């Protein structure tokens, strides 16, 4: 088993003043990375407070012999993010790892949620990830190396009552990863997504104490470090919590092919059990792979030959 190290690498971790972000920053620094500890200094609802938390994490890293700087950029502000990346380049000479971790919550049922609360959560989670990734991307392309971790949530992958804004943003992050993993491949930029279940400020009061003790952020960080390691995969969603790790994938069922005479909504409804049958399900590599599969199924149902242009 190879030891994972980040010596000579520089990592930016957003939302790193507490919880998961702090744990990730400490974990990267402990394995040799220079770390930009980004934290706006906000409440879990997004109100601006102070960046003292980021400076405290930097002090921890430095006390352990590591190198780090604090940065208070708002990830939802593209100009502030650009300045943060420029500071990282000026200080350490490279940006090799980006961990998009910053987030806020404004939970309400969809009927009671204001457009402002919906937009604020999407701005931080989704556009924050976009802003940070856009800022580091050209440096990673030039270097021919980059490791980027997004952070999604079970709320986005599976749904959670009262979190339509959060779930929509986190599902968007998953889609962003799918595309960037393909676009970054030529430059050895690997993009993965962490789907953590951890006890953080965002879960205070929601979990029993005996459960909370199993879900510390430190049980998640080993998975994050694996996702941004030199030999990391790309395009992977890693579920993590309480020291447990699993890959989350999107599958399509085998499905059905209706010929022209059957192509009615009634026929689709009548076939619903077959459409939803999980036996023989497929992993779809990309959007065009789905198109190819459907065309092949439809052609077989009509006894047609299909020739694909290379």
Could you read off the pLDDT of 14-67 as tens digits, one per residue?
Answer: 999 999 999 999 999 999 999 999 998 755 554 454 578 999 999 999 999 999
Domain count, the chain: 2
What is the crossing angle of helices 164-183 and 115-122, to 10°?
30
Same structural domain, 235 and 273: no
pTM for this prediction: 0.91
The CATH number that applies at residue 242 is 3.40.50.720
Q: Which residues pair with 68 in a beta bridge?
A: 35
2 in a structural domain: no
Show which residues are catalytic: 166
Q: Are 259 and 269 in contact (CB under 8 A)?
A: no
pLDDT digits (tens, 9 = 90+) for 66-108: 999 999 999 999 999 999 999 999 999 999 999 999 999 999 9
Same structural domain, 137 and 231: yes
220 in a structural domain: yes
- Which residues fall within 8 angstroms of residue 262, CB to CB, at 6 or more apart? none
53 in a structural domain: yes
Closest Cα partner for 91 from 107, 75, 71? 71
309 in a structural domain: no
Report how far residue 93's alpha carbon sits from residue 142's, in angstroms, rounded to the nearest whole number: 13
Closest Cα partner for 9 from 228, 232, 187? 228
Same structural domain, 231 and 270: no
Q: Are 21 and 58 in contact (CB under 8 A)?
A: no
177: left (phi over 0), alpha (psi -120 to 50) or beta: alpha
Same structural domain, 150 and 258: no
pLDDT digits (tens, 9 = 90+) for 180-227: 999 999 999 999 999 998 765 555 666 667 667 788 899 999 999 999
The encoded tokens of residue 22 equal 């702090």
Same structural domain, 59 and 100: yes
Give the torsion sign (CA, 166, 168, 173, 177).
positive
Total residues found in the chain within this entry: 310
Residue with tokens 């999107």: 250
Same structural domain, 43 and 175: yes
Q: Is the pLDDT of residue 257 over 70?
A: yes
Residue 224 lies in domain = 10-248
Report how far residue 224's alpha carbon sits from residue 96's, in angstroms, rounded to the nearest whole number: 15
């Amino acid at each position: 088993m190879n030891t994972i190290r980040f010596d000579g690498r520089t990592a930016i971790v957003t939302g790193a003043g507490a919880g998961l972000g702090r744990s990730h920053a400490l974990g990267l620094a402990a394995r040799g990375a220079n770390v930009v500890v980004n934290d706006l200094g906000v409440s879990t609802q997004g109100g601006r407070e102070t960046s003292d938390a980021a400076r405290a994490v930097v002090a921890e890293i430095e006390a352990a012999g590591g190198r780090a700087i604090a940065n208070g950029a708002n990830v939802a502000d593209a100009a502030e993010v650009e300045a943060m990346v420029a500071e990282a380049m000026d200080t350490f000479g490279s940006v090799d790892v980006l961990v998009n971790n910053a987030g806020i919550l404004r939970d309400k049922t969809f009927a009671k949620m204001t457009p402002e609360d919906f937009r604020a959560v999407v701005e931080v989670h989704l556009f924050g990830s976009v802003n940070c990734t856009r800022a580091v991307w050209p440096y990673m392309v030039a270097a021919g190396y980059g490791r980027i971790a997004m952070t999604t949530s079970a709320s986005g992958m599976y749904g959670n009552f009262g979190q339509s804004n959060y779930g929509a943003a986190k599902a968007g992050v998953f889609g962003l990863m799918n595309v960037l993993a393909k676009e970054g491949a030529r430059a050895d930029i690997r993009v993965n997504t962490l789907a953590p279940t951890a006890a953080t400020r965002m879960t205070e009061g929601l979990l029993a104490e005996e459960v909370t003790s199993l879900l510390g952020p430190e049980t998640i960080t080993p998975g994050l470090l694996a996702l941004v390691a030199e030999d990391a995969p790309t395009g992977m969603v890693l579920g993590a919590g309480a020291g447990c790790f699993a890959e989350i994938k999107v599958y399509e069922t085998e499905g059905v092919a209706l010929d022209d005479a059957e192509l009615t909504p009634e026929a689709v409804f009548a076939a619903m059990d077959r459409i939803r049958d999980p036996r023989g399900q497929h992993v779809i590599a990309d959007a065009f792979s789905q198109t190819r599969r459907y065309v092949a199924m439809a052609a077989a149902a009509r006894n047609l030959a299909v020739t694909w242009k290379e």
